[in-house]
Amino acid sequence: MAKKTVKSCHIGARKSARDRLQGFLEVFSKEDDVLVCINADPDALACALAIKRILRYRVKSVVVAHPNEIRRLNNVAMVERLKIRLERLGNVKVQDFSKKVLVDSQPCHLPVFEKISFDAIIDHHPISGEFESAFVDIRPQYGACSTMLVEYLRAGNMKPSVALATALFYAIKVDTQDFSKQSVLADGISFRYLFNIANRNLVKKFELTDLRRSELKYFNIALNNLIYTKGRYYTHLGKVRSPDILVNIADFLNHVDEIDWVLVSGVHGEKLVVIFRCDGYRKSAGKLAERIFADVGSAGGHKEAARAEVPLKNLSLGEKEFTTKTLKRLATRYMK
């Protein structure tokens, strides 16, 4: 199959689920060793499991690998309870695999992905950058990439196991925030299909496991450093054990009445991580993140939620420390 360069549109927008599935399967042969790459989160994990199911008996082997450390407790619980087999991307030899698949992400999302030539890419995030792949299915209007994989499974008459259905069901809940975020009818159809197959009690376990006792101190730091101005909250936490606590705090502050924007930042390793939240109405967290940080790091996301990661060395702070006031000053330049 000839490779295609994707710039600003997705491939196969008008094709049926069966056509997409067939196009995906045509990429592989019986002798292939397949590497599925993900930036591990519930949606990516569920999609990887679905791809393993789809390729079962069709290829020699399938390995799922991720570059990021899984720290968020919900995700740890999901991996452990569903017994999801994973490898760290740095521990595998990419050249040993005849075919590579990227799911719930795009090559430009992470530098490590840019170095890999992918044979198939399946994603639901807004298209960014240019890349080549034999098979591309990117549908930004979908609320979850897992919805797309459910369509693949159903098109191939492959009923998911309880474990796979549970993963996909949870992923759609998470990525659509229980359908309070952008979603399409297809998300609801896939969710309803999974409803009677998934173990919903197990899903509750995943949802409730999201905070360590040791992380409560960060809420105190966040509130002490909080700056409010013109319906916007800014706070910088300094060094954090995991960027996931920034997400928890941003979501917490986003619950406050009359708040239009929430920006929460912290330092993890040698990087500044910034989490953006807004209501997505005449605003775009993803575009704001890109405007502020794309030139010095990686940044992007959806209208209502986004993230930026910037090496500290790229910030040109000199001897100064990054503070909440620094965050506010950077953001204010690009906000109306």
Q: Could you read off the pLDDT of 1-57 as tens digits, one per residue?
A: 444 444 434 454 558 999 999 999 999 999 999 999 999 999 999 999 999 999 999
Q: Of 208, 234, 250, at which residue does a domain stop?
A: 208
pLDDT exceeds 80 at position 273: yes
Q: What is the mean pLDDT of residues 307-320?
A: 87
CATH number of the domain residue 259 falls in: 3.10.310.40
| Integer angstrom CA distances of residue 146 from 48, 122, 142, 191, 286 | 9, 10, 9, 10, 21
User: Cβ neighbours of residue 309 under 8 Å, at least 6 residues apart?
Assistant: 271, 272, 273, 274, 297, 298, 299
253 plus 294 within the same structural domain = yes
Which of 248, 246, 174 minimizes the C-alpha distance to 206? 174
Residue 248 near residue 275, CB atoms below 8 Å: no
Task: Give residue 242's pLDDT.
Answer: 87
Angle between helices 17-25 and 42-55 (to 10 degrees): 70
119 plus 28 within the same structural domain = yes
191 plus 309 within the same structural domain = no
Mean pLDDT computed over every residue of the chain: 92
In whole angstroms, give the CA distance from residue 33 to residue 25: 14
Distance of CA 157 to the CA centre of its chain: 27
Q: Of 208, 242, 271, at which residue does a domain stop?
A: 208
Q: Which domain holds residue 184?
A: 4-208
Tokens of 123: 């994603």
In whole angstroms, give the CA distance from residue 300 to residue 288: 8
Q: Based on the number of CB atoms within 10 Å of its own CB, is 86 exposed (0-12), middle (13-18) or buried (19 or more)?
A: middle
> What is the three-class DSSP state of 163?
helix
187 plus 227 within the same structural domain = no
227 plus 292 within the same structural domain = yes
**pLDDT: is 244 or 124 the higher one?**
124
Phi and psi for 268 in degrees, rounded to 5? -125, 120
pLDDT exceeds 80 at position 231: yes
245 plus 297 within the same structural domain = yes
CATH number of the domain residue 97 falls in: 3.90.1640.10
171 plus 248 within the same structural domain = no
Task: Give residue 282's pLDDT.
Answer: 86
**Total-model pTM:** 0.69
In whole angstroms, give the CA distance from residue 175 to residue 149: 14
Which of 167, 110, 108, 180 minimizes the C-alpha distance to 138? 108
53 plus 193 within the same structural domain = yes
Distance of CA 18 to the CA centre of its chain: 25
In whole angstroms, give the CA distance from residue 34 to residue 63: 6
Q: Are strands 87-88 and 61-66 parallel, antiparallel or unpaired?
A: parallel
In whole angstroms, give the CA distance from residue 222 to residue 217: 9
Domains in the chain: how many in total?
2
- What confidence category does residue 213 fall into, taking pLDDT thresholds of 50, 70 and 90? confident
Q: Of 173, 208, 243, at which residue does a domain stop?
A: 208
180 plus 286 within the same structural domain = no
> What is the three-class DSSP state of 4?
strand
122 plus 232 within the same structural domain = no
Report pLDDT digits (tens) over 90-126. 999 999 999 999 999 999 999 999 999 999 999 999 9
Residue 158 near residue 144, CB atoms below 8 Å: no
219 plus 171 within the same structural domain = no
Task: Give residue 7's pLDDT.
Answer: 41
pLDDT exceeds 60 at position 331: yes
Which of 263, 261, 259, 212 minimizes the C-alpha distance to 236? 263
In whole angstroms, give the CA distance from residue 289 to residue 270: 19
116 plus 12 within the same structural domain = yes
Percent of the chain whose predicted confidence (pLDDT) is above 70: 95
Range of weakest confidence among 36-45, 134-143, 164-173, 178-187: 178-187
In whole angstroms, give the CA distance from residue 242 to residue 202: 25
Biggest CA–CA distance in the chain, Å, is 61
Which own/partner contact pairs does 112-115 have at CB distance under 8 Å and 24+ positions apart? 112/67, 113/37, 113/67
**pLDDT: is 333 or 150 the higher one?**
150
